[in-house]
A and B are shown apart, each in its own frame.
Chain A
Amino acid sequence: MTKLSLLFSLMTVQVVLNGILQGLVLALLGIGFNIIFGVMKFANFAHGAICVLGMYLVFLLSGRFGVPPFLAGILVIVVLFSGGYLFERFVLSGWMDRADEEMPMVLSVGLLIFIENVVLLAFGADSHLIDVPLMKRAVVLGPMYFRSSVFVAAAATLVVFIFGYLLLMKTRFGARIRAVADNKTGARIVGIRIVRVNAMAFGISVAFAGIAGTCLSMMEPFTPFRGLGLTLVSFVIVVIGGMGSIVGSLLGGLLVGVLNSLGQYMVSESMSLLVGYVFLFATLLLRPEGLLGKGKGK
């Protein structure tokens, strides 16, 4: 192998690794969307905007008030979880049963636009990046360089993912959530309190968006306009992986992350977004239930 091709392949390894790290975070975002869609049949178009809200809350706490970024991240998660829980409990629940099928989507698109423009008015259109002071140094793996906060964010994501997976798959609470997602009427008959499950699921979903936002804010620069793109990315991940499948979302996230990263390296930043979108349509064409989905969605 010549020196040049070695360098090239090392570059590719670095690009793929970066993609995996980013894909982990995106997977978290997708899982959040997936939970809420599975349990409440609510396609939350504001999901990406909530993620952006998380970024700016971390920015506000750590940039303006000097709270250490990780403490800020935890605070943001607590705030977003309670916000989501209360929003579902007191605003959405009850309304969802009365509303026409398309109204929840309209409501969430309204929320997307609202959050995006409020953030824009409050923080301006400049791009920001959260830097973790202790971890400014780059991690050097042979000839490859990584910003170390990227690793920390990815590690945090992995922890949250394992925690979320165990919560959903191994606890009684998780079993209740899955039961409601599977069959609402059946779940009600066996005595599950749907209202409480819905509110918890909404809170968890919003918190996942917040965690993803916290991690992304340390990985790459962000602006208020990222919300729509992140919502679309979570759609793509969930459709590719399959509605209702947690492991599917993880696979989808990693796939989108790596493809994006390769696309950025080989073509251009904006064209790389196309890769994921093309994958979405290919999935709709070839396997509409997604890689790991059960049966067709309606």
Chain B
Amino acid sequence: MTGRMMGRKKWAGFGAGLLALLLLPLLLSESHQSTVITCLLYIYLGSAWNIIGGLGKQISFGHAAFFGVGAYTSTILMLEIGVSPWIGMIAGGGVAAVAAILLGVLCFRFRLGGVYFSIATLVFAEIFRILAINAEFLRKYSDVAGGLGITIPFRSDPWNYQFAGNLPYYYIILALSAGAILSGAAVRGSRLGYSLRALGDSDESAVALGVHPGKVKIAALALSAFLVALAGTFQFQFIRYLDPNQSFSLHLSIIMVFVCLIGGFGETFGVVVGAIFIVVVRETITSLTSLMGGMNAGAVSEAIYGACLMAVAYFFPNGIVSYARARIGRAKRMRITAAGTC
């Protein structure tokens, strides 16, 4: 099978999957719809993270910073001056992209990258979390006196990004994640994508070929941050509650790493596998712990995510995809030799 045929098969699968997902909600209850929405959100986030983390091999543990910046920008714009979250969503993406460029300049200017970048992203998210916790002017929007969260008032209106029921949100996030997968594929095949992958393999040889490492990585980070920020707005219009400790959490950043790690760093369609895996694990654990009663379901599933991260990194030290490719390649070679001996 040639690479191109592989590609075609994958795109046929993508089309079929998309069609199935368009019809799927007709069969689902509201609560199941919200589970699928979470899964699609993770696909979206994973695709966005993959641009800098997967293609560029610059592992960010702080993409929640951009998610939170998107959510806060659109929410503040809506509550303070009544801007529609649809416009706020784009504005949030812009703010996140600017933040990403600042971060990128700091980390990639001296070609530090690597570990320094991973550390800096984590710290970056913490800085935003602390700022959001200490933002006094947001206290008046909390429904608990002195609470840190913001409750977004519900006014069902498409222009207001608010709808009764889950169905409209389902189609929004479906469109977003399909768009993210498409743009992920487009980036992968573009000049930017090739430069990124070259840099991910070896900084020195890419530079020798005339790739400007700083510019390429900063551009990829900004694009990735822009996309993640859009999801921030979506999520908080959907659940209508904005909490600084959740929106800037390590938990959220790790979900993005996890989705891509399971699906293979830099793989356009791998994120789908990763997102399904993570949602299935969580749903299973939630139902199991509720059966046992009294267990802290959140902590149990977090501990299992942690263990899974370790296990995947440990048993697939070159990533799941390269492992699978090697296996498929070996099976094929064996088939060829077997055919030859007949």
Contact = CB atoms under 8 A, between A and B. Distances in A.
B119 A110 contact: no
Given A109-B61, A113-B306, A280-B123, 10 more contacts: A45-B122, A99-B317, A100-B57, A102-B59, A104-B313, A105-B59, A106-B257, A110-B313, A116-B302, A120-B299
Q: Enumerate the 9 nearest inter-chain pairs by beta-carbon distance, A residue then B residue, closest first.
A: A110-B309, A114-B306, A113-B306, A99-B317, A110-B310, A117-B303, A107-B313, A117-B302, A106-B313
A277 interface: yes
A273 B126 contact: yes
Interface string A286-298: 0010000000111
Contacts of A273: 126, 130
Interface string B105-124: 01100111111101110110
Contact of B308 (A110, A121, A284): A110
A235 B117 CA distance: 12
Nearest to B203: A298
Interface in B278-308: 295-296, 299-300, 302-303, 305-308
B296 to A, nearest CB: 6
A60 interface: no
B96 to A, nearest CB: 17
B35 interface: no
Contact of B110 (A104, A232, A235, A296): A296
Interface of B: 57, 59, 61, 106-107, 110-116, 118-120, 122-123, 126-127, 130-131, 133-134, 250, 254, 257, 261, 265, 295-296, 299-300, 302-303, 305-314, 317-319
Interface in A60-111: 91, 95, 98-107, 109-111
18 contacts: A45-B61, A98-B317, A105-B118, A106-B59, A106-B313, A107-B314, A113-B302, A113-B306, A115-B306, A116-B302, A117-B300, A117-B302, A228-B122, A271-B134, A281-B123, A284-B116, A285-B106, A297-B112
Contact of B319 (A45, A100, A229, A235): A100
A284 B121 CA distance: 13
A114 B257 CA distance: 15
A113 B302 CA distance: 7
B57 A101 contact: yes
Contacts of A26: none
A121 B119 contact: no
Given A280-B123, A288-B112, A99 B313 contact: yes
A103 B130 contact: no
Given A106-B261, A271-B134, A288-B112, A43 B119 contact: yes
Interface in A251-296: 268, 270-271, 273-274, 277-278, 280-281, 284-285, 288, 296
A273 B114 CA distance: 24
Nearest to A124: B296
Interface in A163-200: none
Contacts of B130: 270-271, 273-274
A135 interface: no
